[in-house]
């Protein structure tokens, strides 16, 4: 089993997904593609790797075996972006603020 294949299988099982469910995430019509990947007979293409990394919220380095740390890289917001958001937030009424807060929290779940 290739390192990528073993990582994909480990992540799939950790998230209680079937090969069929993960195949659908990758746009495969059958589970055969997932079997090839998990058994190391084929590797996902670049888009597939990105899709998997995003789906499981892991770094590409972890997915391909270059790192044992699954944490995705932190993307820091620029101070100007934070200042702009702060200025926009100050203009919201309480109902709008509540809606925006729930919306942002949904991304972090």
Euclidean distance between CA atoms 77 and 85, whole angstroms: 11
Give me the pLDDT at residue 2, please. 54
Domain count, the chain: 2
Q: Identify the CATH number of the domain in which residue 18 sits.
A: 1.10.260.40
pTM above 0.85, yes or no: no
Q: Based on the fold, state whether residues 19 and 50 are members of the same structural domain.
A: yes
Buried b (16+ CB within 10 A) or exposed e, 79-98: eeeeeeeeeeeeeeeeeeee
CA neighbor of 27 nearest in space, from 50, 7, 11:
50
Q: How far is CA 1 from CA 38, 87, 101, in A?
A: 7, 52, 44
Residue 69 lies in a domain: no
Q: Based on the fold, state whether residues 83 and 32 are members of the same structural domain.
A: no
Q: Based on the fold, state whether residues 8 and 57 are members of the same structural domain.
A: yes
Residue 72 lies in a domain: no
Residue 71 lies in a domain: no
Model pLDDT for residues 58-109, shown as the tens digit of each residue:
999 999 989 888 888 776 677 888 889 999 999 999 999 999 999 988 877 7
Euclidean distance between CA atoms 26 and 54, whole angstroms: 11
Domain range enclosing 50: 3-63
CA neighbor of 59 nearest in space, from 50, 70, 49:
70
Q: Based on the fold, state whether residues 48 and 87 are members of the same structural domain.
A: no
Model pLDDT for residues 37-63, shown as the tens digit of each residue:
999 999 999 999 999 999 999 999 999
Q: Based on the fold, state whether residues 47 and 9 are members of the same structural domain.
A: yes
């Amino acid at each position: 089993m290739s390192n990528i294949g073993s990582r994909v299988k480990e992540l799939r099982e950790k998230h209680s997904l079937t090969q069929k469910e993960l195949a659908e995430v990758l746009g495969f019509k059958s589970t055969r593609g997932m079997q090839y990947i998990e058994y190391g007979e084929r590797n996902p293409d670049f888009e597939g790797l990105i899709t998997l990394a995003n789906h499981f919220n892991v770094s590409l380095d972890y997915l391909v075996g270059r790192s044992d740390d699954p944490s995705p890289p932190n993307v820091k917001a620029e101070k100007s972006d934070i200042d702009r958001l702060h200025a926009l937030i100050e203009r919201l009424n309480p109902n709008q603020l509540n809606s925006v807060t729930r919306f942002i929290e949904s991304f972090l779940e």
